[in-house]
Chains A and B, each alone.
Chain A
Amino acid sequence: MALPGTVKQQNTYDAIVIGSGISGGWAAKELSEKGLKTLVLERGRDVKHGDYPTAMMESWEFEGRTKISNDRLATQEKQNRTGYTTHPASAHWFVNDVENPYSEEKRFDWMRGYHVGGRSLLWGRQSYRLSDLDFEANAKEGIATDWPIRYRDLAPWYDYAERFAGISGQKENLPQLPDGQFLPPMEMNCLEKALRKRIADRFSGRVMTIGRAANLTQPHNGRGSCQSRNRCIRGCPYGAYFSSNAATLPAAYATGNLTLRPFSIVNQLIYDKDSGRATGVRVIDAETNEVIEFYARVIFCCASAVASTFILLNSVSERFPHGLGNDSGELGHNLMDHHFKVGATGMSDEFGDRYYRGNRPNGIYIPRFRNVSKESMRKDYVRGFGYQGSASRVDWTRGIKELNYFGSRLKADLIAPGPWRFGIGAWGECLPYHENRLSLNKSLRDKWGQPTVTFNCDWKANELAMRKDMKAAAVEMLEASGLKEVTPFDDVSAPGLCIHEMGTARMGRDPKTSVLNQWNQVHAVPNVFVTDGACMTSSACVNPSLTYMALTARACDHAVSEMKKKNL
């Protein structure tokens, strides 16, 4: 498309960032703070910090209280698969499935929100570092391809990300879960404290720590501390958890270098074969359907694993007939998510005279203890899992299944707090398999005429063997800790439900087997960076967002340094 010179100039920036979620917000902050005129393109509506319509609403202010109406369900059938995202307090953050369809050769639960801030408003806020146990695993086991970085490469960037984001947590000095720059930890309740001690006493090398969470336990960088409402998913008026809206985007705006354009769907990158670079992006305005081009020296793809991969696959040229940067054929492959919803619950008759005040938006964490040492090696699977959980006094919902009685006694019982219950669920590593993939579907088009995504991904023998142990180890630990009525659960779900999509444009040392290099640059198009979940070479077993923050900040630093050297 030939544009008059002035328009082309108006639409030219130093850097373009696609997406405004956790990774995009970080790219916006880092690049604009380093002096680059930065354009952030967000496909959804704008959301300014504080623009959280349900944040202060009580249950009785929602028509259906906690239930999703049939009308709403008709437009969010897939988004409803988690059972919690479409709660009336948060449904407005999740996409309309009718307008944004996708296909499933095998079931894949793709949960997402199209608005400024993306899933940084909706995430679980658990923030853990990967370790060399993770970075070395592929190479040691001969699985997939080696990570091109090690822990020492990322450690200073974890420090940097944590200092800005504000991560509360407790140091435990574990090699498999490195400590970070923590704000004071949240406190465990009475039963959790007792169980921490018993687990340590009865299981050598097993630690139960408080969750490391991007929730502030004290005011931090102009944001307020946590008020224990546990309504984070609605958006926090106090800015007490890390989101793009509360943290990185305000920092980026403050530089004067940020332009944020909502309703801007990036359809593809524009590749110039003479320079071997991407020169810009082609955008569809979501409201007017107008097609507009923007140009920049560097482009950061931070649209989420699936969406960034979609954009690359859809960026076809003579040089890249199968998608930009796809010389390896790995683009769209090696799709991963964590597998979860397996563990155990147990009841306690202790601490009947104790309670707590507030809804702590965080639980406990039992870091990986399998395949971390000679003594803990398993014959039935590789890698491992960590448990997340909490103890609490059961609320009135315990009365729903209890059919034995009703009337004034039931009512009086349910007004009082119920017995203490402790539950843990495992989050397990999923291996990267070439055949677990997403692809473009040109026969099903979205509202704007774009191709859509088709998923073909499932759990395999290693994950399924691990799940057996995830359940058994939970039961063993709860029983050994003195809990009663220990009940296992294994609600195996399709990939995607954990909302940790990863791996579809992986990093690697060799351009023949990977899409990105050690700086998150597309091997063959070095001014294109991908720093969201797509870049992950393996999934580890910990929640990945903190790693995206650190990788993004590191990649931005590299990009600017290369620009200064005139290499980009």
Chain B
Amino acid sequence: MNFSNDAAAARLISRREAIQRAALLLGVTISPSILAGVLQAQPAGGKGAKPTFLSTAQFDAVGAMAERIIPRTDTPGAIDVGVPAFIDLMYGRYLAADEQRMFAAGLAEIDAKCRATTKGGFSQMEPAMQDSVLKGVADASKDKEKSFFHQLRELTLLGYFTSEPVGKNVTHYDPIPGPFQACIPLASVGNVAWTR
């Protein structure tokens, strides 16, 4: 089957490529971070959003952690697609009481440690320091069935991969695939997964 003949092939030229092509035509280069800025739709709950259920300090820490798990690269990062607001909502209306307690306690413990060295806590640390803190948390959580870090990871990945900017522009958006094509070359879709 020839994928390029398909109408959906048009969708496979991502917005990223389209912008890069336009930039080439204009004779300018665009750095990945600027590109990500261009790409981000700034949905509600991205930068500048206010939490409903978490405190501002919790919200900033959660956002900074989510961004280290899924950072902005040549594609949007967690903050770009509103993951902090999503986690705020999950915390307030979706986690069970015991899960809520685990989340709040885990967050408080990490932020308290960070405040010992950095006044503003986790969110004000340098990215390299943040990574090292998170690595420590990850290692300490490895043998646990459930932990704050498990929750954070799940909510970050869920919030990211089920968001509209990612579903439409990062993974392959194909809401009405038509007849099932059972075996196609991965290269024909550029090694990118379908939006689920």
**Contact residues of A with B, CB < 8 Å?**
56, 58-60, 63-71, 186-190, 193, 217, 225-229, 352-360, 393, 395-397, 399-401, 403-404, 406-408, 410-412, 414-418
Nearest-CB residue, chain B, relative to A63: B89
Give min CB distance, A194 to chain B, whole Å.
Answer: 10
Q: In the complex where A404-B138, A416-B192 touch, is A399 in contact with B153 (Cβ < 8 A)?
A: yes
Q: How far is the CA of A360 from the CA of B181 in the complex (A)?
A: 9
Q: How far is the CA of A193 from the CA of B157 in the complex (A)?
A: 32
> A64 — which chain B residues lie within 8 A by C-beta?
89-90, 93-94
Q: How far is the CA of A400 from the CA of B158 in the complex (A)?
A: 9
> B179 — which chain A residues lie within 8 A by C-beta?
217, 225-226, 228, 358
> B73 — which chain A residues lie within 8 A by C-beta?
408, 411-412
Render B100-134 as a binary contact track against A, CB cut-off 8 A, 1 for contact.
00000000000000000000000000000001001
**A70, B182: Cβ atoms under 8 Å?**
no
Nearest-CB residue, chain B, relative to A393: B193
Q: In the complex where A60-B162, A403-B141 touch, is A356 in contact with B167 (Cβ < 8 A)?
A: no
Residue in A58, A226, A403, A417 whose CB lies within 8 Å of B175: A58
**B90, A415: Cβ atoms under 8 Å?**
no
Q: How far is the CA of A87 from the CA of B184 in the complex (A)?
A: 30
> A67 — which chain B residues lie within 8 A by C-beta?
90, 94, 158
**A60, B93: Cβ atoms under 8 Å?**
no
> B159 — which chain A residues lie within 8 A by C-beta?
65
Nearest-CB residue, chain B, relative to A58: B167
> Among B20-28, B54-62, B63-71, which stretch is in contact with chain A?
B63-71
Q: How far is the CA of A353 from the CA of B179 in the complex (A)?
A: 21
**A415, B171: Cβ atoms under 8 Å?**
yes
> B10 — which chain A residues lie within 8 A by C-beta?
none
> B71 — which chain A residues lie within 8 A by C-beta?
407-408, 411
Q: Is B142 in contact with chain A by the CB < 8 A criterion? A: yes
**A355, B189: Cβ atoms under 8 Å?**
yes
Residue in B153, B163, B194 whose CB lies within 8 Å of A357: B194
**B158, A357: Cβ atoms under 8 Å?**
no
> A60 — which chain B residues lie within 8 A by C-beta?
162-164, 167
Q: In the complex where A403-B141, A408-B73 touch, is A417 in contact with B193 (Cβ < 8 A)?
A: yes
**B142, A403: Cβ atoms under 8 Å?**
yes
> B141 — which chain A residues lie within 8 A by C-beta?
403
**B182, A189: Cβ atoms under 8 Å?**
yes
Q: Is B185 in contact with chain A by the CB < 8 A criterion? A: yes
Q: Kindly identify, within residues 150 to 193 of chain B, every residue whose CB is under 8 Å from any CB belonging to chain A.
A: 150, 153-154, 157-159, 161-164, 167, 170-171, 174-189, 191-193
**A395, B196: Cβ atoms under 8 Å?**
yes
Q: Considering residues B95, B159, B186, B192, which has the most beta carbons from chain A within 10 angstroms of its beta carbon?
A: B186
Q: How far is the CA of A353 from the CA of B192 in the complex (A)?
A: 12
> B68 — which chain A residues lie within 8 A by C-beta?
406-407
> B171 — which chain A residues lie within 8 A by C-beta?
396, 415
**B90, A399: Cβ atoms under 8 Å?**
no
Main secondary structure of the interface of A (DSSP, over half): loop
**A414, B177: Cβ atoms under 8 Å?**
no
**B181, A356: Cβ atoms under 8 Å?**
yes
Q: How far is the CA of A360 from the CA of B178 in the complex (A)?
A: 10
Nearest-CB residue, chain B, relative to A397: B157
Residue in A187, A355, A401 whose CB lies within 8 Å of B185: A355
Q: In the complex where A352-B186, A397-B157, A407-B71 touch, is A415 in contact with B180 (Cβ < 8 A)?
A: no
Give min CB distance, A534 to chain B, whole Å.
Answer: 36
Q: In the complex where A189-B182, A355-B186, A356-B184 touch, is A406 in contact with B138 (Cβ < 8 A)?
A: yes
**A70, B177: Cβ atoms under 8 Å?**
no
Residue in A68, A228, A397, A415 whose CB lies within 8 Å of B177: A228
Nearest-CB residue, chain B, relative to A417: B193
> A399 — which chain B residues lie within 8 A by C-beta?
153, 157
27 contacts between A and B (CB under 8 A): A58-B167, A58-B175, A59-B196, A60-B164, A64-B94, A67-B158, A68-B94, A70-B96, A189-B183, A227-B177, A228-B177, A228-B179, A229-B176, A229-B177, A354-B184, A356-B183, A357-B177, A358-B177, A360-B180, A397-B157, A399-B153, A399-B157, A401-B150, A406-B134, A406-B153, A407-B68, A418-B193
Give min CB distance, B41 to chain A, whole Å.
Answer: 11
**B175, A410: Cβ atoms under 8 Å?**
no
Nearest-CB residue, chain A, relative to B65: A406
**B138, A66: Cβ atoms under 8 Å?**
no
Residue in B94, B178, B187, B193 whose CB lies within 8 Å of A358: B178
**A353, B186: Cβ atoms under 8 Å?**
yes
> B183 — which chain A residues lie within 8 A by C-beta?
187, 189-190, 193, 354-356
Give min CB distance, B48 to chain A, whole Å.
Answer: 20
**B180, A226: Cβ atoms under 8 Å?**
yes
**A417, B93: Cβ atoms under 8 Å?**
no
Other A-B pairs beyond A58-B175, A354-B183, 16, CB < 8 Å: A65-B159, A67-B94, A67-B158, A187-B180, A189-B183, A227-B178, A229-B177, A356-B182, A356-B184, A359-B177, A359-B194, A396-B196, A400-B150, A403-B141, A414-B157, A415-B171
**A59, B167: Cβ atoms under 8 Å?**
yes
Q: How far is the CA of A416 from the CA of B131 in the complex (A)?
A: 23
